[in-house]
Amino acid sequence: MMGHLVNLLHGTVLFNQLCFNDLPKLFKQKRYAHTGKFAKFLEFNGAPLPLQGSGDLTNHAANLINHKIYFSNGGELNGIPHIQTLREFPREELFGKVVMVRFDSNILVKRECDRKNQSDSNAVYTIKYLHKSGAKVILVSDWNMNTPELHTDSVTDFLSEVLQTQIVPLHANYFKKQAKMNSLEKENIHLLENLSNFKEEVANSLEFARILSSGVDIFVNDSFSNCHKVLASTVGVTRFCYTCIAGFHFEERLDLLKNLAEASTKPYVAIIGGGNLYDKAASFQFLASRCQVFVFVGMMSFQIMHALGVSIPCDLVDGQAVNEALDIVRLAQDKNVQILYPKDFWCQKKCNPKQLQVFPSHGILDDWVPVDLGPVSLDEIDSTLTNCKKIMWIGPVQFVYSSVYTNGASKLARILDKLGQNNCEITVVGTAASKLVRPEKSSLSFINIIENASVVWEFLKGRKLPGVMAVDRGYPFEINWSSIYSDPAQPLVVDIGSGNGLFLLEMARRRQDLNFLGLEINEKLVLRCLDSIHQYGLKNGYFVATNATSTFRSIISTYPGDLVLVSIQCPNPDFNKPEHRWRMLQRSLTEAVVDLLAPNGKTMDIDQIYLQSDVEAVAIRMKEQFFRHGKGKLDLEYGQSEWLEENPFGVRSDWEKHVLERRAPMYRMMFSKSSGIGEV
């Protein structure tokens, strides 16, 4: 259905001149009022709050890293890499591009009025920013099919009010009627049909993902609540879009998630509610390595109490989780983590729910069931948290039975609000806990909220989040070039996919008038190359472990001198299948190389782009890629009509030597960049 979308959108570039001039302005307070038939969905507060406690997003990840050796995944924290974000992506590169935004319908399509939840409106700003930057925006998401007011046309009208821009729905039958397509050409924000209608979405069908992303240049994932799932619209589409980045809402939530792993602020307390200890037990390795206190509330507390030898009714013990509870108690003892469990409960009589009484934890009578935390428990929690500097509350204070006549969870929310006013850093996780905290939260409270608990539990278990891993890796910090090279102003040569570094090391020994940088994804090879740099005493060579496909621009753009040569030699042909997302030479890398190269930047016998492979199909594809995305600035050197017979540098890589020794051909070419065309 999406196959014709590129024809629909290309050729129609509507650019609003009232663009955002800089990203920090996105986070100013601003309100939008909504009236009419869609007011019942919500009254939307349209501007996000400043990111409390996280600092400047552009610097946050860099502050987490202090490495002597530069690794692009050096910022990885519990399986989360530093990823490329919309904030970091060159804004001028958005103009005229087809950008697909996977938004979170739980945020933008709400049926309940929630005036205090302003931080979620980062999702609104992702779309508005792309629109005002001249991108042709396609919105995709899923929403509840069983709610009549949430049909595609209704959602389209509602989003038009929220975004203050007309949104046009795209149904499957629109692509079968040329007249319908023509009627859409003046609009540049479109909403695709509800993804809940397609079973291929949940199955992450590769063919469905290909159709979904047909004609799309850039994919922006802003659906944080789905990042623990493998969906066609969050993972599958990234195979077919040349750049995949995180939106403002996704970035903010991911930043909050990373902050949960920071253990420098102490005492750090985890308030753990909910049930199903068996499935969540793996999370306690992570929590025990960072927290000083576990405060158990809700059904999970009974499993811990049982493991500690507290006498409780047998029907409150989950037999499946007995061993896991014992392991958690032993782990806490080994890590010197204090365990706090409820000392009393409000209970109701089974035969008369209106009859309530407080029982000590070890003295609950058989015909009574717990419904809420008791006053002694709440007082002990309040006392324990008084001197804390960091708190995470995850999981509801919820029992099998509940009572409208008790409000222990609300009291806990008020305790946290009071602490939040005293500079205690608090993160509340989960829908139930969030609903309790928001009404109690004062303007002075230092409380962050993450509604989707499933994502956080997966993170705490140490599992990698598929929706995060599918986004392009970003480089988290700038390199101190003066500490790497004796003369950082010398012209720079970059070898992408430098392997064991033999080519670059020999070149650096021969040409002291140039600086050499190898970009290699294999960290072990980089460490060996850095050892060789040290052994040879080279002051003009260095290697970085990184995925150059997504980090080349951010790394090289900070170099103080001219980039005069980029070489790509014998990339793995398995990575160059058109359907393989992680192939090295993608459009983003090609354009970055062309943009950053100095025009006619010959330094003695050095030209600018050198490509070679022992697989002809790979060499042809590299050649076509540079011609297609070279922006008309590239010419083949030496009047090439055939492949170059000899290596023009007289220095061979290890693989090139291997190929030539078995008398196999090498396919080589050299490009130069014209200076007659102005730079971007």
Predicted local distance difference test score (pLDDT) of residue 113: 36
Mean pLDDT, rounded, for 665-669: 92
pLDDT at 114 over 50: no
- Let me know how many helices (H) and strands (E) the chain has, helices first: 25, 22
Mean pLDDT score, 336-355: 93
DSSP assignment of 567-583, as one string?
EEE---GGGG-TT-TT-
Q: How far apart are CA 141 and CA 195, in angstroms?
A: 6
Residue 476 falls within a domain, yes or no? no
Confidence class of residue 445 from pLDDT cuts 50, 70 and 90? confident
What pLDDT, on a 0 to 100 scale, did the predictor assign at position 185? 45
Q: Find the range with the poorest average confidence among 75-79, 487-491, 548-552, 638-642.
A: 75-79
Side-chain half-sphere exposure of 161, counting CA atoms within 13 A: 21
pLDDT at 598: 86
DSSP codes of every residue in 460-477? HTT---HHHHTSPB---S
| DSSP SS3 for 133 | coil
Please indicate, yes or no, whether residues 565 and 602 belong to a single structural domain of this protein: yes
Is the pLDDT at 89 greater than 60? The verdict is yes
Residue 105's domain comprises 91-255
Q: Please report whether residue 575 resides in a domain.
A: yes
Q: Name the one residue in this structure whose structure tokens are 């459009």.
A: 587
pLDDT score of 184: 39
What average pLDDT does this structure show over 215-235? 94
- In this structure, what CATH number is given to the domain that contains residue 461? 3.40.50.1260
Whole-number mean pLDDT of the chain? 80
**Using CA atoms, how far apart are residues 605 and 19, in angstroms rounded to an integer?**
45
Structural contact between residues 136 and 97, judged by C-beta atoms closer than 8 angstroms? yes
- Say whether pLDDT at 65 is over 50: no
Q: Does 142 share its domain with 276?
A: no
- Range of lowest pLDDT (290-304, 337-351, 591-605): 591-605
Sheet strand arrangement including 447-450: 338-340, 293-296, 268-272, 390-394, 425-429, 447-450
Q: Indicate if the alpha-carbon torsion angle 283, 286, 288, 292 is positive or negative.
A: negative
Q: For residue 221, what are the CA distances in angstroms to 123, 224, 227, 574, 671?
A: 10, 8, 9, 27, 35
Distance CA 141, CA 183 (A): 23
Do residues 216 and 328 both lie within one domain? no
Domain boundary among 199, 223, 255: 255
Tell me, yes or no, whether 504 and 636 share the same domain.
Answer: yes
Q: At what angle do helices 431-440 and 408-420 cross, to 10 degrees?
A: 60
Residue 24 confidence class, pLDDT cut points 50, 70, 90:
very low
CA atoms within 13 A on the CB side of 362: 5
Same domain for 365 and 295, yes or no, is: yes
Backbone angles phi, psi at 496, to 5 degrees: -90, 125
Interstrand relation of 667-673 and 609-613 (parallel, antiparallel or unpaired): antiparallel
* Single-letter residue type at 359: F
Centroid of chain to Cα 400: 36
Q: Give the end of a domain, one of 255, 289, 316.
A: 255
Reading phi first (left if > 0) and then psi (alpha if -120 to 50, else beta), residue 35 is in beta
User: What pLDDT is stored for residue 182 in this prediction?
Assistant: 36
Mean pLDDT within 649-654? 88
pLDDT at 637: 76
Q: pLDDT value at position 617?
A: 87
Q: Which of 470, 495, 517 is the last residue of a domain?
A: 470
In a domain, 77, yes or no: no
* Number of separate domains in the chain: 3
Residue 426: closest CA among 390, 386, 451, 452: 390
Give yes or no: residues 525 and 548 share one domain.
yes
* Structural domain includes residue 84: no
Residues 568 and 548 in one domain: yes
User: Is 186's pLDDT higher than 80?
Assistant: no
The CB-based long-range contact list for 364-368 (8 Å cut-off, 24+ gap) reads: 364/312, 364/313, 366/313
pLDDT at site 166: 87
Shared-domain flag, residues 389 and 500: no
| pLDDT of 257 | 93
Question: How confident is the model over 171-179, as a mean pLDDT?
Answer: 45
349 forms beta bridges with 352, 368
Q: Are residues 299 and 240 in the same domain?
A: no
Is the same domain home to 374 and 463?
Answer: yes
Residue 419 pLDDT greater than 80, yes or no: yes
Mean pLDDT of 585-604: 77
Residues 450 and 515 in one domain: no
Most confident segment among 453-457, 471-475, 618-622: 453-457
The answer to the question of residue 357 being in a domain is yes
- Asked whether residue 150 carries a pLDDT value surpassing 90, the answer given is no
Among candidates 521, 475, 485, which has minimal Cα distance to 74?
475
577 sits in the region (left: phi over 0; alpha: psi -120 to 50; else beta) called: beta
Does 34 fall in a domain? no
Is the pLDDT at 475 greater than 90, yes or no? no
Distance CA 157, CA 152 (A): 9
For residues 316 and 475, give the distance between their C-alpha atoms in angstroms, rounded to a whole number: 49
Residue 252 has pLDDT above 60, yes or no: yes
Using an 8 Å Cβ cutoff, are 301 and 316 in contact? no
Quick: pLDDT tens for 36-51: 322 332 222 233 322 3
Lowest-confidence region among 104-113, 297-306, 600-609: 600-609
Shared domain for 108 and 148, answered yes or no, is: yes
Is residue 8's pLDDT more than 50? no
Residues 152-174 have pLDDT tens digits of 788 888 888 888 888 888 865 54
What average pLDDT does range 280-285 have in this prediction? 94
Compute the average pLDDT of residues 494-511.
94
Percent of the chain topping pLDDT 70: 79
**pLDDT in the model for residue 17:** 32
Q: Is 70 within a domain?
A: no
The top-scoring range by mean pLDDT among 273-277, 401-405, 629-633 is 273-277
| More confident: 40 or 299 | 299
Q: Tokens representing 356? A: 């309530």
Better-predicted residue by pLDDT, 227 or 407: 227
Q: How is residue 42 annotated by DSSP?
A: -
Strand intervals (E) in 451-496: 492-496
| In-domain check, residue 493 | yes
pLDDT at 398: 83
Region for residue 573 given its phi and psi (left: phi exceeds 0; alpha: psi -120 to 50; beta: otherwise): alpha
